Amino acid sequence: MARVLIVGAGPTGSLCAALLRRELPQRPLRIVLWDKARGAGGRMTTSRSPHNPRCTADLGAQYITLRPAYAQKHQSFYEDLLAHGVLKPLTAPVEGMVMEEGSHNFVTPQGISSIVKHYLTESAGADVFYEHHVTQIYLRGGKWEVCKKTGSPEQFDIVVLTIPVPQILQLQGDIVNKMKNALLSVDALLLGRSYYRGDALYYNERQNLIKESQKQQLESVSYSSRFALGLFYEAGTWIDVPWAAQYITNNPCIRFISIDNKKRNIESSEFGPSVVVHTSVPFGTAHLEWDKEKVQPIILDHLENIMPGLPKPTSIKCQKWRYSQVTKAIPSCPGQMTLHIKPLLVCGGDGFTHSNFDGCIDSAICIVEALKTNL
C-alpha cells in the first residue's frame, strides 16, 4: 500500500486528503497528515479561551467570500459545506467591507477551523498527527525519508507539501538547500574517478531534484505579515457596539476588529463573547521581529483608543502571522509544483494560487490531479 504524507493540516492539506479519498476510492493509499501545530486549521485557526472552551475566536481567516468567478467552478464545495452546516451566510453587519458585485460572504458557526475539520473527517481513515514538525527530507532507495523535530524519521512513497513557500525553502536535506552541496561533493568524486556504484546511484538520484528555475520561482513568492489578538470574556459580558466587525482606516496599528461570536451569529448565556483584532500590514512588518509580549500592550493601547470602555477580558491570545496572506504568488498561479516525479514530491497551497478559500480549493484540485497523473 503506497504511503502518502501530506505536510500541513490547513485547508489545502485537509482538502487534498479528502479529494484523494473521494477521487481514488479504488487505490490502496495510506494517507498520513503531519502538522507542526497542536491542532488543525493552519491560518484558518480557531482559538479557545483557557477558561471556557466554548468561547472561541478566529485569529486568522475571518469569513469566506465566494466571488462570481468561482460561483460555478466551486459550487459543489460550497453546497457541501452549506449542507453540513459548516458554512452559513454572513448576515451580521460589517462596517467598511468592500464587496465585489455578485459575491457572497459566509461565516462558520463552529469557527473557521471547522472547514478543515470537515475535510479531515471526509478523508476517512487518514492518520493525522499534530506536533510533527518536518525538518528534513531525503531520497533513500526510491522513497522519501522524512525527518521531524522529535521522533524517528519515516519513509513515504509520495510527499505533498502544503506549507507556506518560505517554510518549504527552510526544509533541509536533499530537497532544497543542501542540493548544491550534495551535487558539488559528488561532482568532485566523479572528477577524481574515485566513485563506486553506490555513488553513481547517489548522483543519478540527485541530479533530478528541484531545478534551479523552480527554486527561483519559489523564492519569488512573498507574504504580508500582521499580528492578531483574541480577547476572551466571561459569560454575561456585554459588548455594546452596533456592528459585528469593522475595518479601521485611521489607526496606525489596527486594521480590523470583530466581535467574533456576533460575526458568526453565536450568542449564549453559557459562554462569553470574544473579540478579534488584526493589525495593519505596515504595523506587522515594522514589529515582525519583536516578541509578541512586547507587541500585545501596544495593540491593546490602540484598541482602548478605538473602543474606550471595552470590558476587561479574562484572557488574551496574541498571534504573530509571519506568513499572513500571499502578496506575490508563484508566477501564473499553477496551483501546484511537481518537484520530483519518482518518487513523487509535490508542493501546493495558497502560495501557488491566491490567499483565500478558493485559492486553496484550486491548489488542492491541482495537487490531486498531479498525483493521479503520476501514480
Say whether residue 350 binds ligand FAD (CB under 6 A).
Answer: yes
| Distance spanning both ends of the chain, measured CA to CA | 12
Least distance to ligand FAD from the beta carbon of 176, Å?
12
Q: Which of 49, 62, 258, 336 binds ligand FAD (CB under 6 A)?
A: 62
Least distance to ligand FAD from the beta carbon of 116, Å?
8
Say whether residue 356 binds ligand FAD (CB under 6 A).
Answer: yes
**Shorter beta-carbon distance to ligand FAD: residue 164 or 230:** 164
Check if the beta carbon of residue 1 is closer than 8 Å to that of residue 352: no
**Shorter beta-carbon distance to ligand FAD: residue 206 or 354:** 354
Q: Which of 5, 17, 18, 42 binds ligand FAD (CB under 6 A)?
A: 42
| Total of chain residues touching ligand FAD, rule CB under 6 A | 38
Whole-angstrom Cα Rg for the chain:
22
Which residues have a Cβ under 8 Å from the Cβ of 7 and sit 6 or more positions away? 13, 33, 34, 35, 134, 146, 159, 160, 161, 162, 163
Over the window 211 to 250, marking each residue x when it contacts ligand FAD by CB under 6 A and - when it does not, the resulting string is ---------------x-x----------------------
Say whether residue 12 binds ligand FAD (CB under 6 A).
Answer: yes
Say whether residue 321 binds ligand FAD (CB under 6 A).
Answer: yes
Instruction: Dump strand ranges (E) for 121-266.
Output: 127-129, 134-140, 143-148, 154-156, 158-161, 172-173, 222-223, 226-232, 245-247, 254-259
**Count of other CB atoms within 10 angstroms of residue 38:** 7
Say whether residue 9 binds ligand FAD (CB under 6 A).
Answer: yes
Q: In angstroms, rounded to a whole number, what is the distance separating the alpha carbons of residues 27 and 191?
A: 44
**Shorter beta-carbon distance to ligand FAD: residue 45 or 186:** 45
Residue in the block written with cell 481513515: 125
> Can you list the alpha helix ranges (DSSP code H) found in 64-209?
68-71, 75-83, 113-122, 165-170, 179-191, 197-206
Instruction: Tell me whether strands 158-161 and 46-48 are parallel, antiparallel or unpaired.
Output: unpaired
Least distance to ligand FAD from the beta carbon of 67, Å?
11
| Per-residue cell: 94 | 460589517
Phi, psi of 144 (to 5 degrees): -95, 130
Say whether residue 7 binds ligand FAD (CB under 6 A).
Answer: yes
Say whether residue 284 binds ligand FAD (CB under 6 A).
Answer: no
Q: Which of 5, 29, 32, 34 binds ligand FAD (CB under 6 A)?
A: 34
Q: Which of 8, 272, 284, 313 binds ligand FAD (CB under 6 A)?
A: 8
- DSSP letter, residue 70: H
> Can you list the alpha helix ranges (DSSP code H) found in 72-196?
75-83, 113-122, 165-170, 179-191
Which span (11-19, 83-91, 209-217, 246-254) binds ligand FAD, by CB under 6 A? 11-19
**Shorter beta-carbon distance to ligand FAD: residue 97 or 189:** 97
Q: Which of 349, 365, 366, 367 binds ligand FAD (CB under 6 A)?
A: 349
Q: Which residues bind ligand FAD (CB under 6 A)?
A: 7-13, 34-37, 42-44, 60-64, 133-134, 162-164, 167, 226, 228, 278, 321, 324-325, 349-350, 355-357, 359-360
